[in-house]
Structure 1
Amino acid sequence: MLNDTIIHAERELYLTLLAWAQQQPNAYEWLKQLPTWLNDIKDKANYAHAPGYQASVARLPNLIVDNVQLDNDTLTINATLTDSEYKQATALLKQLMPWRKGPFQIGNDEGNSIFIDTEWHSDWKWQRVAPYLSPLKGRRVLDVGGGSGYHGWRMAGAGADTVIIIDPSCLFYHQFMAIRHFVGRADADAHGKGRYRTHYIPVPLEALPENSQLFDTVFSMGVLYHRQSPFEHLQKLKGQLVKGGELVLETLVIDGGANTVLVPHDRYAQMNNVYFLPSVAALIGWLEKAGFSEVRCVDVAVTSTDEQRKTEWMTYHSLADFLDSNDPTKTIEGYPAPMRATLIAKK
């Protein structure tokens, strides 16, 4: 028997935006475009794997869930799985590989349990960011480039009123829906009786209506260095924020002064879509030039091969394969190894 997880999640998203629009007319533009956004991600002409991903989500078993822990480092869905449910769910979730952002656990310590050990220890990033955030309780949050949705769930776990995750990946959209299937109403407001709080729109930031001013907090983590025009990205992020809203920006940086920016000639750590790696000082200048205030760097961390690595759920090359085997402080192209900074700023 197939489940209707995706249909139900999309209906909840529509009703959430409709409620917003009754208070803030800017949300009507989102409502007008929503059918196109949601149809395009399922179109086999756009994404050859879309029907297979949808089928995997629709065939996930309906479990009896005891509770869901959205505020755990491992997002945990405590449930009892029979042997057949365990085998079925594991096989279907593996059809949605590679899993890059997580980790997730479905099951419990006493019985069958599926641990999705993702490429990234996304919980480590959240641990570095969370202490510096303005409290998320009651806030509307936009998570740009949210991948599987791990950080979005953590934002809901921190008390956000509504979280909208955006990412144009067809695979990541369906990974989110797989986890959504098991989370069910556990993230709903009013103790499971209200609307879902966590949603996913499968589009890039550039597709959103500009200057919506709908969100109290906007996250852009791991996106800026993929943008050919970083200032355009910063302006679009600012346009989604209410006045006084908070931007959380995490991106690759390099050591150097206020005018130091690395532009990789070809690839960087084998990625061919990396354009600008500024120093922290340069990035602060960019944010101020883009019109943000109270800009501060709250964390700088070199990415380790413990934080990003291949696993049973992501079997392709990972960070260790992208570093110089003789000098891990450099990428195989000879650039400084990945180092990430988190900055917080106000609109």
Structure 2
Amino acid sequence: MKGPDFSAIYRQFALLGRETPGFHRWLARLPEQLQQALDLQRHPEFAGWWKRINKLPDIQRARLQLNTAAVGADDGRLLGDEPLTDSQQRMIEGLLRDLMPWRKGPYQLQGTTIDTEWRSDFKWDRLAPHLSDLRGRKVLDVGGGSGYHAWRLAGAGAAFTLCIDPSPRFFAQFEAVRKLMGKEDLPEVHHLPLGIEAVPEQLEAFDTVLSMGVLYHRRSPIDHLLELKDCLRTGGELVLETLVVDGDEQTCLVPEDRYAAMGNVWFLPSVPLLERWLRRCGFTDVRCVDLNRTSVEEQRSTDWMTFMSLSDFLDPDHPHLTREGHPAPLRAILLARKP
């Protein structure tokens, strides 16, 4: 089986490392990290997903859509400038469905609309007005799933965007999207199937680092904030999006068991407490720029994610509560700077 080709990201790390040594340090570890991350003994299902990606048409060029709600490309052209046939477009949809469930999106890819569980464009629209100018910046998206926001960041002008997420399925989905966008004029958007634990300490390489929907899954949230800080260069910007609860600087919800049916939720602080955590970690210019109660329009089951979703996790008689009796999901976006 022809496996993933990481030569492009190796080249980028080598190039970026000329000015930012952290990339060279990471590059020295990267091949071994990737071999372990996609080990077929640990993830035998990945072989089947990758066979489907290899069956996708080799598109040479396409019309990219990076600044629309549904990220993607259309008008795909094959070698010799031949357009995709109807049968190829039907094959594309079938192969993409084999990679279900699709969590974050939406995508529009060569005639196929992927209606993902999350309308991630809603979150992007809340965040984008508050971001620093991304033109020319190096951006890291931690826990970015299949890479939806990485493409939006590139559309906003980021020069180099790296999404990391340890899920092999999300990596496969990203590579399918990338292949259907063609080979010509692609922005420097990359994905590594790694968690933040794989990032070298004191990397200090990125101008902007995003951690969205990750903090409440970490057993040690303070350590996660310090890991994010290590990824930033001096003066870099952190974008932190996470579940929160109403309250003062002393308020933090620690679920006894599950939260909204999720068993891996550890800490839901109030916004004032989260701001204090960031300041204690050494961040400055800490501010909350958005507070939003998650709606069933933003997170729901679809034809591309057929399992239970938010409406199933709320108390049917009291939708302001989860079915466990906790406050319903409230999400905050905070920005901070590394001095």
TM-score range, shorter chain: over 0.9
Q: Distance in 2 between matches of 1:84 and 1:43?
A: 34
Q: Taking structure 2 as the reference length, what is the TM-score of the superposition?
A: 0.95
Do residues 69 (structure 1) and 65 (structure 2) align? yes
Q: Identity of paired residues, percent?
A: 50
Per-residue deviation at 1:78? 1.4
Structure 2 partner of 1:146: 144
Please, which of 222, 226, 232 is the counterpart of residue 235 of structure 1?
226
Q: Distance in 1 between matches of 2:254 and 2:28?
A: 38
Choose 212-221 or 59-68, whichever is displaced more: 59-68
Secondary structure at the residue paired with 2:4? helix
Secondary structure at the residue paired with 1:175? helix
Query: 1:81-127 CA deviation, whole Å, 9 max, x = no partner?
Result: 422112211111111100000000123xxxxx200000000000000
Structure 2 partner of 1:273: 264
Per-residue deviation at 1:334? 0.2
Superposed, 1:192-341 pairs within 5 Å as: 196-341=187-332
Q: Distance in 1 between matches of 2:282 and 2:185?
A: 34
Q: Distance in 2 between matches of 1:159 and 1:88?
A: 33
Per-residue deviation at 1:64? 6.0
Q: Distance in 1 between matches of 2:88 and 2:39?
A: 29
Q: Distance in 2 between matches of 1:222 and 1:142?
A: 14
Q: Distance in 2 between matches of 1:186 and 1:259?
A: 52
Structure 1 partner of 2:49: 53
1:155 counterpart letter in structure 2: L
Secondary structure at the residue paired with 2:320? strand
Number of equivalent positions: 331
Superposed, 1:155-166 pairs within 5 Å as: 155-166=153-164
Per-residue deviation at 1:52? 0.6
Q: Distance in 2 between matches of 1:81 and 1:301?
A: 41
Q: Distance in 1 between matches of 2:54 and 2:33?
A: 20
| CA RMSD, 1 decimal | 1.5
Q: Gaps (5+ residues) in structure 2?
A: 76-82
Per-residue deviation at 1:156? 0.6
Superposed, 1:82-121 pairs within 5 Å as: 82-107=85-110, 113-121=111-119
Per-residue deviation at 1:40? 2.3
Per-residue deviation at 1:36? 1.7
2:244 counterpart letter in structure 1: V
1:43 counterpart letter in structure 2: D
Do residues 6 (structure 1) and 9 (structure 2) align? no
Q: Distance in 2 between matches of 1:336 and 1:315?
A: 25
8 Å CA contact 2:204, 2:233 repeated in 1: yes
Identify if the C-alpha distance between structure 1 residues 5 and 101 changes in structure 2 by more than 3 Å, giving closer, same or farther.
Answer: farther
8 Å CA contact 1:42, 1:51 repeated in 2: no
Identify if the C-alpha distance between structure 1 residues 282 and 186 changes in structure 2 by more than 3 Å, giving closer, same or farther.
Answer: farther
Please, which of 22, 30, 33 is the counterpart of residue 34 of structure 1?
30
2:8 counterpart letter in structure 1: E
Do residues 20 (structure 1) and 11 (structure 2) align? no
Query: 1:243-290 CA deviation, whole Å, 9 max, x = no partner?
Result: 110000000000111110000000000000000000111111110111
8 Å CA contact 2:59, 2:182 repeated in 1: no
Structure 1 partner of 2:80: none
Secondary structure at the residue paired with 1:68? strand
Per-residue deviation at 1:71? 1.3
Q: Taking structure 1 as the reference length, what is the TM-score of the superposition?
A: 0.92
Structure 2 partner of 1:127: 125
